[in-house]
Structure 1
């Protein structure tokens, strides 16, 4: 980052406009010509200041050389806690909802058998749904669980699937192994989430376990990156 006084002056000028709400999330900042005219600073320093604010994720550059104040994501999802999507949405003061796409009982694939430690030809419940906040899509969810633990008919509400499962079984889901992957535009899922072609998603692939270490639930959750920010506390070893 720059130690140049002129570059920092431009950065602070833009930051002050954001902090005072003169520039709001999604607003385009003045172009380089306008900034030069207002501040009497050369183009190189202005360009460098904007570049640094983009790198710091305060500004975002759109197609057509337009730079805007980056919109803030309204939801925080902790990665070091097993928190339901319902709680994530409700913590933001909004109503969590569920739109069911499909609820089917299928024969487990080789992948399902491996992940959930099932017998060959075991039956699984496959639940496809969208989690919404005040009716707006936030997360696409695909969940798989052995039918003898949880049938599709057992889940017909807006409640957390973890809570729904625990209401039907005699164990608790205590932890999950999670992998995180950035996903670009996927026509089927992106359209369900009302995403633009340049909107990325974060895929959390999770295997949930009970207190005995037995795999119970296999989940793939696609979060809209424009709406959800992830948080984790990392300890130095």
Structure 2
């Protein structure tokens, strides 16, 4: 059984910076459940942004479940806000997911090669079968222990150059795509799949073969709706947990 979801990639706009600032406060020891936030005017003055920017940020925080707003009353922090530390609907780098779960993140293995796309890769990237693609493999550590393994695939035809250095693959693949494919990733489509480790994954994670893993298949889209990158990510459940706040809807 798999779970499908569509996520919007967060960009560093003024609204995003306000979001990060407010989330940091909400998730800190000072931001307790039921605590009322300052008014939009006060927040705008404190953060040095417009009231409209604050309002947009608060609207997002409300949708994500961090705050509750009622017309005519103050904005309050929800009782479960601190549980929303690693939201599945926010696209971000694996290193950020690991850090959000309270661990120091690092990468100790980076490999890349070129290959002809198989049927599944061709379908997910909307290219012809056997077209050449770049395949990047990374292993991520949490406090020095294997925590995640990622396989990124990019069609060669989208790369303006192929003389990149291995060190450039250590950073965010979002930035790599922007630099070498000259496009901006704006949305992705994900599928969540529970799996068990095979021989290769068991070696990478230092676990017994057949151990449970959390797998995320992701197709990254440009603003023009073109699938530019297809990723397969594997996570050890003890290091990374995803959360979501859902609106309850039922038939009465």
**2:204 matched residue in structure 1:** 192
CA deviation vs aligned residue, 1:158-196 (integer Å, no higher than 9, x gap): 212222222323221111111111112322102211224
State the shift of 1:155 in Å: 4.6
CA deviation vs aligned residue, 1:107-156 (integer Å, no higher than 9, x gap): 11222221101134321001122112343211111111112334483553
**2:118 matched residue in structure 1:** 109
Separation of aligned partners in 2, 1:152 and 1:86: 25
Asked whether the 8 Å contact 1:86–1:159 carries over to 2, the reply is: no
**2:237 matched residue in structure 1:** 225
TM-score by length of 2: 0.57
Asked whether the 8 Å contact 1:162–1:173 carries over to 2, the reply is: yes
- Name which of 176, 187, 212 aligns with 2:188: 176
Distance 1:152 1:131, change over 3 A: farther
Separation of aligned partners in 2, 1:105 and 1:152: 13
**2:106 matched residue in structure 1:** 97
**1:9 matched residue in structure 2:** none
Report SS of the residue matched to 1:148: helix
Separation of aligned partners in 2, 1:198 and 1:220: 18
The structure with the larger Rg is 1
**1:54 matched residue in structure 2:** none
Asked whether the 8 Å contact 1:199–1:225 carries over to 2, the reply is: no
Asked whether the 8 Å contact 2:185–2:223 carries over to 1, the reply is: yes
Asked whether the 8 Å contact 2:177–2:183 carries over to 1, the reply is: no
**2:96 matched residue in structure 1:** 87
More divergent stretch after superposition (223-232 vs 84-93): 84-93
Higher relative contact order structure (alpha carbons within 8 Å, sequence separation ≥ 6): 2
CA deviation vs aligned residue, 1:93-119 (integer Å, no higher than 9, x gap): 654322335311111122222110113
Separation of aligned partners in 2, 1:108 and 1:197: 27
State the shift of 1:218 in Å: 0.6
Asked whether the 8 Å contact 1:141–1:221 carries over to 2, the reply is: yes
The number of residues matched between the two structures is: 163
**Are 1:156 and 2:156 matched, yes or no?**
no
**1:124 matched residue in structure 2:** 133
Separation of aligned partners in 1, 2:108 and 2:156: 21
Separation of aligned partners in 2, 1:90 and 1:227: 10
Asked whether the 8 Å contact 1:104–1:152 carries over to 2, the reply is: no
